Amino acid sequence: MADATQDFFRGLAQGRRDCRLTALHEGSVRFDISRDGQVSHWLISISKGDITVSEQATGGDAVVRADGAVFDRIATGETYFLTTVLRGEATVEGSPRLFATVRRLFPPPPTSERDRTPGGGRE
């Protein structure tokens, strides 16, 4: 069975996602993903719109924490990142500016969630 979380981060590292980042998007975000009593750490660094990804347990101007099953749903577009944060299924610490940038990394919200998200899912 494929691991949606690993596929997501490896896809970012290989440039397979169009995230619409520009030179204005700068900083780093660490993702702490827990699964089966273990925590995997992924550090995404954004510089001049370019993304680098490493498996690193330290660093980050912002930190996102989520259960692996929740993050799998985010990574595949089954649920929207912002919705999981609002529901308390994922947490974010650090730079609010980077939180807005991180949202661009994920697939858009599913149509059914877009209708329930404050602002109709518009950015």
Homologous superfamily of the 4-110 domain (CATH): SCP2 sterol-binding domain (3.30.1050.10)
For residue 96 the two structure tokens come to: 């609010």
* Residue 46: per-residue pLDDT: 84
pTM: 0.80
* Residue 34: per-residue pLDDT: 96
pLDDT in tens, 19-67: 666 556 788 999 999 999 999 999 998 887 788 899 989 899 999 999 9
- Greater confidence (122 vs 6) lies with 6
pLDDT in tens, 73-109: 999 999 989 889 999 999 999 988 888 777 878 887 6
* Residue 122: per-residue pLDDT: 45
- Greater confidence (12 vs 69) lies with 69
* Own/partner pairs, 66-69, CB within 8 angstroms, 24+ separation: 66/31, 66/32, 66/33, 66/34, 66/90, 66/91, 67/33, 67/34, 67/35, 68/5, 68/33, 68/34, 68/35, 68/36, 68/40, 69/35
* Residue 22: per-residue pLDDT: 59
